[in-house]
Amino acid sequence: MSDIKSVLSLLCQHLNASINVTMKPEYFRLAKFNSTAENVREVFWKALNILSYHAVKEKIIAADFEQFDIVWATKLYFAYLQYPAVEFYALSAESKNNRPLLLAFAWLLGTENILSIIVQLKLSNSVLGKEFSYANNSEKEEIEYNVPESIPAQINHVLYLSGKVNYNIKQISELVSERTKLVNKAHAASKNYSGLPHLSVSELALVKRISTVNKNLPSDEDKKYIKELSATASLLDIHMKWLKKEHIFFEWMVTVVEEHNKSMSTSLQDIDWNEATKFVSLLDYMTQERLKVLSSKERCKDSPNYEPNCIERMLRLQGDDAEMEKWLTEISAELDKETEDLTKKKEMLSKKLKDILKSIPSCVQVPYS
Helical segments of 38-150, H only: 38-58, 70-80, 86-89, 99-112, 114-124
**97 burial class (0-12, 13-18, 19+ CB within 10 angstroms)?**
buried
Per-residue pLDDT of the chain (369 residues; tens, 9 = 90+): 568 999 999 999 999 999 999 999 999 999 999 887 778 999 999 999 999 999 998 887 777 787 888 999 999 999 989 999 888 988 888 887 889 999 999 999 999 999 999 999 888 888 776 665 555 544 555 566 677 778 888 888 888 889 999 999 999 989 888 878 877 776 676 666 655 556 666 776 777 777 776 666 777 877 888 888 888 889 999 999 999 999 999 999 999 999 888 877 655 667 788 888 888 888 888 777 777 766 664 444 455 554 554 445 555 555 667 777 887 888 888 888 888 888 888 888 888 888 777 766 554 454 544
Query: What separation in angstroms does the CA of 364 have from each of 263, 353, 356, 359, 361?
Result: 86, 19, 14, 10, 8
Residue 163 φ then ψ, to 5°: -65, -40
- The three-point CA angle 335-339-342 to 5° equals 140
Query: What separation in angstroms does the CA of 222 have from each of 12, 201, 218, 295?
Result: 29, 14, 6, 53
31 near 40, Cβ under 8 Å? yes
Nearest alpha carbon to residue 27 among 102, 103, 106: 102
Q: What is the number of alpha carbons within 13 Å of residue 174 lying toward its C-beta?
A: 6
Q: What is the DSSP letter of 366?
A: P
Say whether pTM exceeds 0.95.
no
